[in-house]
Amino acid sequence: MVGTAEVIETMAAMVIFSLILLSANRMIIRNTNMQVQGEVEQEVVALAQNIIEESRTKEFDELSKGAAPPAHIPGDFTAPGSLGPDDEAADPDDPNSDDDLNKDGTYQRSEFDDFDDYNGWEDTITTEHGQFKIWAKVFYVNTSTYTKSSSRTTFKKIQVFVSSKYLNKSSSDSAKYHFEFIRNYYAD
């Protein structure tokens, strides 16, 4: 048949071009995703920094709030297993040690008065870039290795985690962003 060679050549060109087109489309989609990711990651950093800066404005420990420091440091600080918002039993000498100021049975961020009250705190924050899930952990750390310590020390670490549905590791698994800050009782 006349022109068969041309048809075959054209078809080959179409196949090659389709592959190039697919590749270019993938590149455009990847670039767009990275643009969105960069924008949303800015927000993630700002949210985590907000929590860390806020926690730094609080006292180091529920029992270091008074005018005088505790008699034994760090022995008089809150027990490692009790880090978190405090109830009235946290400090027998302080009738106002209960962090549930409005007595509604929940501990709000606005009621926190010391650094470790953020332990176990979680919230969903709505921003211009959508909703972010944010939660925190606070624990004592070893004074030389800065790893988690099961006993009281003069160092506490806050870990802030942030996730968003727009930041995914895979289609079903959302990425968890992790920020840390170590606070020293004597550096306050």
Partner 1 sequence: MNIGLVTSYLIAGIILLAMLSMNMSVSHSSNEITLSQVTRERATTISDMMTNDMLKMGYNRKSKTSPILTTANNNKIEFRSNIDNSTDNSVEIVTWEFTSSAITNTTNPNDRLLLRTIRDASTGSIISQDSIKSGVIKFQFSYYNDYGKPRSDSMSTPVSASNLASIKQIYVSFKLQYGEKIDNSSPSRYVTTIWEKRFSPPNLEL
Residues that bind partner 1 (CB under 8 A): 1-4, 6-7, 9-11, 13-14, 17, 20-21, 24, 27-28, 31-32, 35, 38-39, 42-43, 46, 49-50, 53-54, 56-58, 108-110, 112, 123, 126-129
Looking at the Cβ atoms of 14 and 79, the one nearer to partner 1 is: 14
d(CA 28, CA 144): 48
3-state secondary structure of 104: coil
Smallest gap, in angstroms, from Cβ of residue 14 to partner 1? Answer: 6
Smallest gap, in angstroms, from Cβ of residue 142 to partner 1? Answer: 27
CB burial readout 126-163, b (16+ within 10 A) else e: eeebeebebbbbbbbbeeeeeeebeebbbbbbbbbebb
3-state secondary structure of 68: coil
- Give residue for tokens 């995703």: 33
Looking at the Cβ atoms of 50 and 143, the one nearer to partner 1 is: 50
d(CA 48, CA 163): 11
Smallest gap, in angstroms, from Cβ of residue 120 to partner 1? Answer: 15
3-state secondary structure of 110: helix
Looking at the Cβ atoms of 4 and 147, the one nearer to partner 1 is: 4
Residue 112 contacts residue 65 (beta carbons within 8 Å): no
Looking at the Cβ atoms of 53 and 87, the one nearer to partner 1 is: 53
Smallest gap, in angstroms, from Cβ of residue 103 to partner 1? Answer: 17
Smallest gap, in angstroms, from Cβ of residue 99 to partner 1? Answer: 12
